Amino acid sequence: MRYIRPLSIEDAAGLLAGSTGTAAILAGGSDLLVRMKGGFIEPDLIVDIKAIEGLNEIRETSEGFGIGAAVPCAVLGESKALKKAWPGVVEAANLIGSKQVQGRCTIVGNLCNASPAADSVPALVAAGAKAVVVGPGGRRTIAVEAVPTGPGKTSLAKGEIIEAILLDRRPPRAGDAYLRFIPRTEMDIAVVSAGVNLTLDEQGRVKSARLALGAVAATVILVEEAAEVLVGSKLDEATLERLAKVCSGACRPIDDKRGTIEFRRKVAGVLAKRAAIAAYKRAGGK
Amino acid sequence: MAGVAVSTTINGDDVEYLCQPDETLLDVLRDRLGLTGAKEGCGTGDCGACSIILDDRLVCSCLVLGAEAEGRRVETIEGMAHGDSLHPLQQKFLEHAALQCGICTPGFLIAAKDLLAKNPDPTEEEIRFGLAGNLCRCTGYDKIVRAVQDAASVMKGA
Amino acid sequence: MNFDPRYSGRSFTSVGTRPIRPDGVDKVTGRARYGADFNMAGQLVGRVLRSPHAHAKIRKIDTSKAEKLAGVKAVITAADLPDLTDGDAAMYDILDNCMAREKAFYDGHAVAAVAAVDARTARQALKLIEVDYEVLPHVVDVDEAMKHTAPLLNDAIFTEGLDEKPVKPSNVTKRTQFGHGDIQEGFGQADFVVERSFKTEQTHQGYIEPHACVANVSSDGTADLWVCTQGHFVYRQHCAQLLGMEASKLRVTSSEIGGGFGGKTHVWAEPVALALSRKAGRPVKLVMTRDEVFRASGPTSATSIDVRIGARKDGTITAAEATLRYSCGPYAGMWAEIGAMTAFACYKLDNVKTVGYEVLVNRPKTAAYRAPSAPMAAFAVESAVDELAKEIGMDPVDFRIRNAAQEGTRSSYGPVYGPIGIGPTLEAAKNHPHMKAPLGKNQGRGMACGFWFNFGGQTCTDLNIGMDGSVSLAVGTVDVGGSRASLSLVAAEELGIDYGQVKAVVADTSSLGYNDMTDGSRGTFSSSMATISAARNAIKVLRERAAQTWDIPVDDVIWEKGHAIAKGEKYGNLAALSLKEIAAASGKTGGPIAGHSELVADGAGVSFATHICDIEVDPETGSTRVLRYTVVQDAGKAVHPTYVEGQYQGGAAQGIGWALNEEYIYGKDGRLQNPGFLDYRIPVCSDLPMIDTQILEIPNPNHPYGVRGVGETSIVPPLAAIANAVSNAVGVRMTHIPMSPPRILAAIEAEREG
């Protein structure tokens, strides 16, 4: 087994592309080291990407934000500008694990671990975030929802690394929110979760909406019908009831140690409503 | 498997060691450097007993590779007191009996130190959520929270 | 020695104060050494291979490949731990649990072990061991296991305690029964009868420190064992017996212990580590992973309990009956028996009957967990008591006060009570401001009572007075939560000196006589009794030395406030001699001064508590929040009140976790799904409120200071108190613990749909 700390993203991609055995990317390590401890993975090569220039930065540009693949989630919470623009994304990132884990974990790692229950992913999907992928074939930008393809599986090819996550600049009257259900108050994996991103028109009606649910299917799902229910409304009682119904109906959950099918269906609707209300308020809706 | 040579700083001292590439920083601290104050309660980042501060960031040392410490600053429980004078948090943990078995105590102290460094005047709720990554099975947390509250007020006055 | 343990009312100087514990500084600086913090030169790493099957016959184990791996120094199987138990069934079960012999009985059961130069080599070696299993049908549910159609774990087990000797083997190892009176007649007198069935899931003690030990067996047959344990003397006995050693040749040192709660009263890895060391000829360190702790060390019983209680309109209980089925894991236990004894212990009953069934299942061997078996029985009984109070239309506290046991009551398990605290804790709860605090929407209040026997047992203490007048106190009960502070206070109290002059240590098995382990809430009760006795013996010597110095009869010397005083006017010119002065002269007056004590601490006073809690339930998700929690408990006499509070709070917190979220979850394959702190959800700091405590002191007549054990009772009421609070909040009786959000939501929905 080798541990290598390359200085450029191209070198990192090259190492991964050229590796013969099991290769793993190390950023925060909060998933990788747990899997190594449990004997679920025995990498022949670990590529630590934290020394690569730029990967530790949150960059604000005229188009929005670029969050480097090695930025710990705790740092997202310390960025006032990011928190103001995308409070839902930041609150989702700051729910992963403990303070200790947040000091290490990254949203790119959370995305690439490809758990349907990943906290930051529904918020990123709702936000319409994009992933910058670097690999042997160069650089490409894809929607974050295109990355996970199933539990533990991604669409990334051998040698490909996500360099950064891109979030758009916010128009006026926009807000996002993320809520998850866990049995305790902290430290759990989401049993169900919902991310909502809204923009309002000048009258306070929903102009555009994206809603994503976590832990209710093999991947995080974008519920297009939910957007249809929300657009044009002011989140009146009837709309929220319809929203809950649509979201519950969109779930394809399983029974497992964290929850039952019935529980996940029901609570997905509840969280969708509550997250929509929170996003609506943040967007300035009354 | 080739060892990795690491130069780092632990509690202000320059330290060099050789470790295996898959060895955690917790194992390096405990088994190679004799710093057994950080404990392994789970090895998966769920209990916080191995908490340390790495470049001013609170982390679980079981989720850090020993190789990653190269060129960085590590703070452990062994560096918390200054000589024979205890840190106010250590003193308040003793006075409030905020420990029973004491296995979680080093992790709690490190996490509480990080918490107060970032938020010198936390509410009870902020303390409780700030320390949620540290499990204690003996105390019910009551006396731990009170000790942190008391230490915060002492440290503000200092 | 004629030691009189009876209580005598007295005032205290040291006892009842709250000094800093003697082991505190080491624990806040990271210097205290726990099980895994000790190393020996040349030590090997031990690892255990565990069954992935819930139930399987072990046809063959081939260790040859593992033995050939470079760096492997020993590989052992059951063949290296031959059966030396000589017909002792309980010891045989311990042996079989440490290393499976013919069958693996649960997911995680040890089948082989290796010692190698490092962890990586040991891990690789485990992969090279080939075990040929014949997978058998399994059963993990306690009710399923009782059915005639259930897979049998052990076809040599025939249920004991039945009127007729059974002809077929069964998973039920034993039936026990307790009670008195005539319940048929009692139910005949009842105006109201409540009958309910309850289930509780299996939980783990959840100590943060995994089991860890370092074993060193020498070629001369002597051995050392460093280990985190609640009872190093018992570990010595068990290990010595299983390995065929003389007890005195095995020195066991108890490390600092990172939590036990009953779970470190049983050997698991220690005999294995010793066997590995013996075979390898080198020290072996064996530390369990968290996964192994959950899969292979002792959880509680899962239970299924039926309760029936009847009462007259005036609120008097006329009859009470319970049937309790407790899982034991794969080996016989007495868990249902204890449950059956404790179930109705809080009440004064003319007609009561409880029946317990011990049930074998393919889960780890059940181990003690803080007041073992009592919380589940209390959950069932106290839930039914609340229901009955509601049916009668009485306040639940008043109903309990009316039926509370008192001095002279014949307990439901047999003995007649002396002075007890159930009535006073109920009265204190009734008058507590918590009871009158307003509740909001979706909030409910619940209360419940709990009982625990407490235990005394064999105890031995040495008290040595140094020539500088400082006192070394060597105790043999492991300090699990601050007892070195309490025992130092007791020594200081008796000797009339400062707490700071006493230093208490836990002595190893070669330095002190036998002590039972720290269980049954006996640590402070029994060792304080032995410390008082040892101190009184030392005082006798101190008086003799003073008498010798003064050349007067010893009967004329009294001991007061740390000084020998010559009694009577004729000695008016003799200045009192301090302990320090007498100690300084000891070399010339007869040598070292010490007091010893070996006794059986009988008469541990029974303990009662009443808990109150407020819970808020989110009716849309079934999520719960503990808003407020109050513990009222009788301590007899609180030696160090802060650590008594700590015991109350800690037990309550564990009970809250049990009530709401903790449970072993098995898959259809019989494998444990949640062997980690991520999905075995013990309460985190943000889950809990402050836990208020009220210490009552109803002296135990069988202890010089009136001390009762305090450690365990606090985990007994929470399951029921929270169940009553949740039931009151949602308007549905909760009958299945833990009340996880899916269970609560399902109960609410079922009620809504009628």
Q: What pLDDT does residue B95 have?
A: 98
Nearest Cβ partner for A34 among B2, B45, B114: B45
Query: Do residues C123 and C248 share a domain?
Result: yes
Select from B19, B103, B129 the residue whose CB has the most chain C CBs within 10 Å, as the one to mutate to test that interface.
Answer: B103
Residue C298 pLDDT class (50, 70, 90 cuts): confident
Residue of chain B minimizing CA distance to A43? B22
Domain for residue C167, yes or no?
no
Tokens representing B87 are: 């840190």
Asked if A267 and C745 come within 8 Å (Cβ–Cβ), the reply is yes
* C-alpha atoms less than 13 angstroms from C-alpha of C613 in its C-beta half-sphere: 34
Q: Euclidean distance between the first and final Cα of chain C, in Å?
A: 69
SS3 C301: coil
Q: What are phi and psi of C167, to 5 degrees?
A: -100, -20
| Mean pLDDT to the nearest integer, B87-99 | 98
Residue C655 pLDDT class (50, 70, 90 cuts): very high
Query: Do residues C729 and C675 share a domain?
Result: yes
Instruction: Name chain A contacts of C746, Cβ cutoff 8 Å.
Output: 260, 262-263
Asked if A39 and C123 come within 8 Å (Cβ–Cβ), the reply is yes
For residue C417, pLDDT beyond 70: yes
Fill in the amino acid letter for C354: T
Report residue A164 CA to chain centroid gap.
Answer: 12
Q: How far apart are CA C311 and CA C313, in angstroms?
A: 7
The answer to whether residue C753 neighbours chain A at the CB level (below 8 Å) is: no
A114: left (phi over 0), alpha (psi -120 to 50) or beta: left
Query: Do residues C662 and C706 share a domain?
Result: yes
Domain for residue C189, yes or no?
no
Instruction: Name chain B contacts of C289, Cβ cutoff 8 Å.
Output: 43
CATH of A190-282, one of 3.30.70.920, 1.50.10.150, 3.30.390.50, 3.40.109.10: 3.30.390.50
Q: How far apart are CA C336 and CA C173, in angstroms?
A: 11
Residues facing C593 on adjacent strands: C465
Tokens representing C491 are: 């020594």
Domain for residue C3, yes or no?
no
Produce one character per residue of C612-621: b if its CB has 16 or more CB atoms within 10 Å, e if not.
bbbbbbbbbb
Query: Do residues C743 and C657 share a domain?
Result: yes
Q: Is the pTM of this model over 0.90?
A: yes
Tell the CATH superfamily of the B88-157 domain: [2Fe-2S]-binding domain (1.10.150.120)
Residue B2 pLDDT class (50, 70, 90 cuts): confident
Is the ipTM here above 0.95? Answer: yes
Instruction: Name chain B contacts of C31, Cβ cutoff 8 Å.
Output: 37, 78
pLDDT digits (tens, 9 = 90+) for B8-26: 999 999 999 999 999 999 9
Q: Which residue ranges of chain A lie beneath pLDDT 70?
A: none
Query: Do residues C380 and C243 share a domain?
Result: no
Domain for residue C11, yes or no?
no
Sign for the CA dihedral angle at C127, C133, C138, C140 comes to negative
Produce one character per residue of C522-551: b if its CB has 16 or more CB atoms within 10 Å, e if not.
bbbbbbbbbbbbbbbbbbebbbbbbbbbbe
| Mean pLDDT to the nearest integer, C286-314 | 97
The whole-angstrom distance between C25's CA and the closest CA on chain B is: 7
Query: Do residues C465 and C585 share a domain?
Result: yes
Q: Is the peptide bond before C738 cis (omega within 30 degrees of 0)?
A: yes
pLDDT digits (tens, 9 = 90+) for C70-110: 999 999 999 999 999 999 999 999 999 999 999 999 999 99
Instruction: Name chain A contacts of B62, Cβ cutoff 8 Å.
Output: 33, 37
Q: Helices (H) and strands (E) in chain A — how many of each? A: 11, 14
C333, C366 Cβ separation under 8 angstroms: yes
Residue C520 pLDDT class (50, 70, 90 cuts): confident
Q: What pLDDT does residue C544 have?
A: 98
Nearest Cβ partner for C684 among A185, A259, A270: A185
Sheet holding C457-465, edge to edge: C502-506, C471-475, C457-465, C593-601
Question: CA–CA distance from A199 to each of A109, A171, C162 (Å)?
Answer: 28, 8, 73
Query: Do residues C627 and C705 share a domain?
Result: yes
Nearest Cβ partner for B100 among C32, C482, C683: C482
Q: How far apart are CA A131 and CA A138, in angstroms?
A: 14
Annotated domain spans of chain B = 4-79, 88-157
Tokens representing A93 are: 């990132």
Q: What pLDDT does residue C481 have?
A: 86
Select from B46, B56, B59 the residue whose CB has the most chain A CBs within 10 Å, as the one to mutate to test that interface.
Answer: B59
Domain for residue C109, yes or no?
yes
| Mean pLDDT to the nearest integer, B58-87 | 97
SS3 C28: helix
Question: Looking up tokens 């779930």, which residue turns up?
Answer: A251
Nearest Cβ partner for B45 among A1, A30, A185: A30
Fill in the amino acid letter for A33: L
Tokens representing C214 are: 């370092």
Give the residue from C174, B30, C621 showing the smallest Cα distance to A270: C621
Q: What are phi and psi of A60, to 5 degrees?
A: -105, 125
CATH of the domain at C390: 3.30.365.10
Residue of chain C minimizing CA distance to A269? C620
The whole-angstrom distance between C429's CA and the closest CA on chain A is: 28
CA–CA–CA angle A76, A81, A82 (5° rounding): 40
Query: Do residues C281 and C226 share a domain?
Result: yes
Select from A41, A267, A270, A271 the residue whose CB has the most chain C CBs within 10 Å, as the one to mutate to test that interface.
Answer: A267
Q: How far apart are CA A108 and CA A96, in angstroms?
A: 12
The answer to whether residue A97 neighbours chain B at the CB level (below 8 Å) is: yes
Select from B53, B76, B138, B143 the residue whose CB has the most chain C CBs within 10 Å, as the one to mutate to test that interface.
Answer: B138
> What's chain C's average pLDDT?
97
Q: What pLDDT does residue B158 have?
A: 67
Q: How far apart are CA C299 and CA C313, in angstroms?
A: 41
DSSP at C410: B
E strand segments, C203-312: 212-217, 223-227, 250-254, 284-287, 303-311
Give the neighbours of chain C: at least 3 Cβ pairs within 8 Å. A, B
Asked if A263 and C622 come within 8 Å (Cβ–Cβ), the reply is yes
Fill in the amino acid letter for A87: P
Domain for residue C153, yes or no?
no
Query: Do residues C469 and C558 share a domain?
Result: yes
Greatest CA separation for chain C: 91
Sheet holding A192-200, edge to edge: A174-181, A192-200, A206-214, A221-222
Lowest mean pLDDT: which of A102-106, B2-6, B48-52?
A: B2-6
Give the neighbours of chain A: at least 3 Cβ pairs within 8 Å. B, C
The total of other beta-carbon atoms located within 10 Å of residue B75's CB is 20
| Mean pLDDT to the nearest integer, C172-197 | 98
Residues facing A67 on adjacent strands: A58, A165
Residue C521 pLDDT class (50, 70, 90 cuts): confident
Query: Do residues C239 and C381 share a domain?
Result: no
Instruction: Name chain C contacts of B95, Cβ cutoff 8 Å.
Output: 20
| Contacts with A80 (C-beta within 8 Å, 6 or more apart), sequence order | none
For residue C625, pLDDT beyond 70: yes
Asked if C677 and B47 come within 8 Å (Cβ–Cβ), the reply is yes
Interface of A with C in 234-263 (CB under 8 A): 256-260, 262-263
Tokens representing C427 are: 């009265």
Fill in the amino acid letter for C79: A
Query: Do residues C447 and C560 share a domain?
Result: no
Give the neighbours of chain B: at least 3 Cβ pairs within 8 Å. A, C
For residue C1, pLDDT beyond 60: no
Instruction: Name chain A contacts of B67, Cβ cutoff 8 Å.
Output: 3, 48
pLDDT digits (tens, 9 = 90+) for B122-154: 999 999 999 999 999 999 999 999 999 999 999
- Classify domain A2-51+58-168 by CATH architecture: 2-Layer Sandwich (3.30)
For residue C658, pLDDT beyond 90: yes
Q: What pLDDT does residue B1 have?
A: 63
Query: Do residues C682 and C719 share a domain?
Result: yes
The answer to whether residue A184 neighbours chain C at the CB level (below 8 Å) is: yes
Fill in the amino acid letter for C477: T
Domain residues for the domain of C132 are: 35-136+210-257+264-296
Select from A99, A110, A182 the residue whose CB has the most chain B CBs within 10 Å, as the one to mutate to test that interface.
Answer: A99
Number of domains in chain C: 3
SS3 C117: coil
| Contacts with C572 (C-beta within 8 Å, 6 or more apart), sequence order | none
CATH of B4-79, one of 3.40.50.2300, 3.10.20.30, 3.40.640.10, 2.40.340.10: 3.10.20.30
